[in-house]
Amino acid sequence: MTDYADGLAFFLAPPGYPIPENSTGGSFSLFNGSCVSQAAKVPVVVVEFDTFQDEGNDAVPHVGIDLGCFKSIRSSSWQSLEGQTRATINAVITYDAGTTMLRAIFSGSNGYSRNVPYVVDLRNELPERVDIGFAGATGAYFERHVIHSWSFNSSLDLAHGKGTLQTEVTPEGATSACWLVEGPQELLLFGTRPATRNFAPEEKLGRGGFGDVYRGILNQPKMVVAIKRVAKDSRQGKKEYVAEVKVISRVRHRNLVQLVGWCHEKGELLLAYEYMPNGSLDAHLYNDGGNPLPWPTRYSIARGVAAALLYLHEESEQCVVHRDVKSSNVMLDVNFNAKLGDFGLARLVDHGGGMETTAVAGTMGYLAPETATTGRASKESDVYSFGVLALEIACGRRPIDHGNKEGGVSLVDWVWDLYGKGAILEAADRDKRLGSDFDRQQMERLMVAGLCCAHPDHRQRPSMRQVTGILLFEMPLPNLPTEMPEPSYGGFPFRGST
């Protein structure tokens, strides 16, 4: 036991949720004393900052996620309570409805930080409308908590029209919000140049295939953005600029990088996107000097990209074929949610239709066999690229590992060989990064789904809806041949161009 009281909790509960009878300090006045198991759960979701070592609960003071009862379903220890006394703690709680990932991130003044992720569909845990707020209890001891500041933000996908921002704060501190959603807008050059400090070198974030990307701050709307400046001598860059504005201005999804605005003025071609503070996925997968991406984050990223492609292929007004799905085009927001970006090669097609034959476009290693050979691209070729990406996330290896072998070793070939030997988990990213700290069932699902997507025969590949079902454990794992089949180009749905 400890000499501390019980702690503080953030909660979501039905409107007007009362303090239950027989509630104790350990339940933060949110559950009654008998609510200690999932069988007796109530429609309340809690992230608790527990400072008391309760009997029958987690072994040490912890930050935990509670679903309907005060026994944490996922938790992480709170390091050195004595060191945290009178200290300021920062916490971020996020939920992504697309990937169903609930996450609590907390850090102390001594630099200690932890991440508590849990996959849960909150539609099964809460009613449509909820109150949010804080609860605390002292139990048999005295303890004081000060909330220096807090904020609540919600982003809703609205397919058409505009909503109105409506925020109500009740005396209990509950908040509900509906956000205004607007499309991209044309920007003025005289406002964009100051936003990037006239494209100062120190604001440069990186370089793409057809221009540089800069960090900037727009005044209208007031936000940090990433601004792509297309090179003036790039004809292909101009084509991609037009294609990107045409495609991305029509789509909106939580797992797509949003286009904020564009500018074509005085020879400048600029595209402004929402700023992704954690950069691209490939930088985290292959940066040996940085912190490795933990397995729950990797699996959440894979599911996020799958959700983005499902939307593009089946749920948007017009089918969008991305044509350049790869790890460097997957961006990560402040909470490491995945956002698929770079629509410069994307094409709009009718649902159920094929693609025109074009010059080969995309990135070697991610190109489907039929695309690399004939130039034809389709939803199926996007699925192939996602399969390579899924294996990349699971294995921590590039699509083509040149190593010491001439021509390099294909990631798909390598993993398929291990699959045929019944040893697919040996491909997991153990060296330096994951070790053995991963969910074996999730790892197997991600790699088998990746191989299924990367099937050489486009007719044997799953749809992104089926892939999503596999990753959500809603569909059984497919059985694949023990040896990788030869590519087949027959029966490919397309319209030849003249």
Enter the tokens of residue 37: 């198991």
324 is catalytic: yes
**What pLDDT is recorded for position 411?**
95
Taking the chain (498 residues) in runs of 10, the rounded mean pLDDT of each run is 62 78 60 56 84 58 81 74 59 83 77 79 86 73 69 56 31 30 50 62 75 79 81 72 79 89 78 89 81 90 96 89 94 93 83 61 86 86 97 94 68 95 89 73 96 95 96 93 80 37
Span 177-228, pLDDT tens digits: 222 234 555 555 445 555 566 677 777 887 766 778 888 887 766 778 888 8
**What pLDDT is recorded for position 175?**
31
Query: What is the Cα–Cα distance from 321 to 323, expressed in whole angstroms?
Result: 6
Angle at 181 between CA 311 and CA 276, to 5 degrees: 70
Annotated catalytic residue within 54, 66, 212, 324: 324
Q: Pick the closest to residue 398 from 451, 408, 406, 407 (CA basis).
A: 408
- Whether residue 231 contacts residue 210, with contact meaning beta carbons closer than 8 Å, is answered with yes
**What pLDDT is recorded for position 269?**
83
**What pLDDT is recorded for position 497?**
33
Domains of the chain: 7-137 (2.60.120.200), 185-274 (3.30.200.20), 280-472 (1.10.510.10)
What is the full DSSP assignment across 132-185?
EEEEEE-TTS-----------------SSS----EEEE-TT--EEEE------E
Q: Pick the closest to residue 154 from 132, 135, 134 (CA basis).
A: 132
- Whether residue 9 contacts residue 67, with contact meaning beta carbons closer than 8 Å, is answered with no
* Residue 59 dihedral angles phi and psi, to the nearest 5°: -65, -25
**What pLDDT is recorded for position 182?**
46
Long-range contacts of residues 19-24, Cβ cutoff 8 Å, at least 24 apart: 24/137, 24/139
Cross-strand pairs, 118 = 102
**Is 421 known to sit in a ligand binding site?**
no
